[in-house]
Structure 1
Amino acid sequence: MHLPKMTVVGLMSGTSLDGMDIAVIDVMKDNTIDMKLKHFTTIPYDPEVKARLEVIVKPSSQSPEISSMNMLLGEVYADGILTALDEVGLEADQVDLISTHGQTIFHDPLSKSDDPYYRPNTLQIGDIGVIAERTGITTIGDFRTRDMAVDGQGAPLVPFLDYQLLKSDSTGRILVNIGGISNFTVIPKNSDGSDVVAYDTGPGNMIIDAFISWMTDGEHSYDEGGKVAASGAIDYEWLQELMEHPYYAALPPKSTGRELFGIDYAKRLWSEADMRELSYEDRLATVTALTSFTLSGSLRRHIDHEDVREIYISGGGWHNKTMMKWMKTSIPEHVHIGSSKELGVDSDAKEAIAFALFGYLGFHRQPNNLPSATGANKEVIMGKICWGSN
């Protein structure tokens, strides 16, 4: 097989942490492989970079677990994909592409002015090489980093789908997703994409799920229909204190996750509820109200300004009737509130659908981020590809 001549840069950074070995070569293949070294250099790491690397490469209680879990999740994802294909009656060779978000284990989109070596960063694990090998299907993943490379926050990404599929020429719309974190996309009528506003508003189901698990000793993982919260009373004094968290006052673009509103935050709130001697029902009602009111407060900032007449909700929060009831009390009556299913997008499948779209466009070298939502300085093609046998 003949392959055209290419100039290729090879980079290696070894365990010695000395720096970067960089080779520039010309390579082509006909019957044999022909390679010519054009240039080679070793560039040492800056002493501070090397010092920081020496800290993080030391084995710790977490580093081998993270590395191992990256591979394990690849296997888990591959098995899940093959199960789904079996359920729908498809063979792996009938599928062209897998597009995976992976599991976020850390996300910090902000720089630190007092640390010139710190960079906004994000890490999703679930190795695409393992998925491609286990399934035989070409796999694309690791989308967020490319957006961050052009000064975006790498989140939220789903607004790209919202704009492409759900915009309206007749009215402003807000597309809300309530998962672990709550976020929404504001699309003015006749939008050209540059005027879309999207951001994370704060906790969604994350704190609620942690509380219900602790309340039931792990027997339940979520408050089905919001029934437990409905049986309690909101502690409005505590709720007001919780709503003074600086994240809520920050201006978009902004994104958040477990780093701010994860298990450590939930434990702190649980301890505060203990000190207040709140019943389980009252504490669950209060953290449910936290999601409802921080979300509705953010929504109100855009309803009149963008002439919004429709709000469509997706994610697990849509099924929490108590959360929805409390959220709706703060929304003007003329605004229609419904499920994204009304627009033809399954409210539970929306995010997975979005990443299928990102993968499709990325594979075909088409831009798939929305700078007005993430704060990126330009459109880019997100995603890294690992080729399968297909």
Structure 2
Amino acid sequence: MGGGFADDVAFMERHTPIVLLRDGDAAVAVAPAYQGRVMTSTFDRQAGPSFGWINRPVIEKGVLSGEQAQGQLQDHIHVFGGEERFWLGPEGGQFAFYFKPGTEFDFADWRVPAVIDTEPFELVDSRSDSVAFRRDCELTNYSGQVFKMGIERTVRLIDRAGAAQLVGGPLADGVRMVGYQTDNRLTNQGDQAWSPETGLPSIWILGMFNPTPRTVVVVPIEPGAEAELGPKVNAAYFGEVPADYLKVSDDTLFFRGDGTRRGKIGVGPKRAKGVAGSYDADSQTLTIVICTQQPAPHGYVNSMWEHQQDPYSGDVINSYNDGSPEPGAPPLGPFYELETSSPAAALQPGETLRHVQKTLHFSGGEAELDGIAKNLLGVTLAEIKRQF
């Protein structure tokens, strides 16, 4: 777990404007200058924990106020942190937005586009329980195709009654919670249709959370034969994930979220159930991420760092565990991530794709949290704890 929410918010407000959404004691801190990202949240804004990972050294550099950031990592990405941010896929491959034409698919050439790294989103509406942003931009992919995009993003609180509906029953009195959803929309603002032959973008939502030695990521999957549903997991993004970091059963993936070894897993559309989560046994905190599931006639974009045979065989749900990106280099964080993606956006001019993600944190006794884990992740807390 990180530090306290109140301390994190006070720190961030010294460097960038923060919009605070409130529901009783629960609160969510949103940063307009960081693309409307949810920086952190808590069930008790005065004395509660801070669930988002906040990278104070990078925020202190004042990158967005015009000062020049220094260091290797800032050459590739400004890692501000934050527990839920808007990105665009794909990351790698011939239609990537993170590699310039002609570069190699390695860390030295990887760059996050400024529009989703250092440039602010425009705040268009702010209320006690929601805040809305928009941004128009133009991006060129690895193959040289230009995309004129309109981005809209709304962050809205989920109250206790809304959380109970998602869980499938009322929350026990001893369970404290905070929840929110983001409604993310991507519009083709150009005069040509976006075509699979020249690349398709997708909405990609990522959350950075504080790692602990006992944090385990849980991803339910559809059981069944690989010939029908494809592989249970893609565990080769940054080299194959070793067995002491990933356990695979018939219907569940368990992945360490301890921030000690770089690795990433992904689940494709025939396996994904639209939900993932994590459990930190030390703080007795259960985190749940739920995303919209919708038709994907053109598949999901492939973000593997390679020239791809099938650019639309990508994942719906991903999890990343941070560590050193190359020998001798420091980690980006450390942190761990839960991620979801929309289908590939084969949009006509003026057409819009929507992707909604819900994030909830529950804290309480294990007996009280166990039913939530079983209902949403399909496993008990005891099963999660004994995996590693």
Q: The TM-score by the shorter chain falls in which range?
A: under 0.3
Give TM-score, length-normalised by structure 2: 0.25
Which structure has the highest strand share of the two? 2
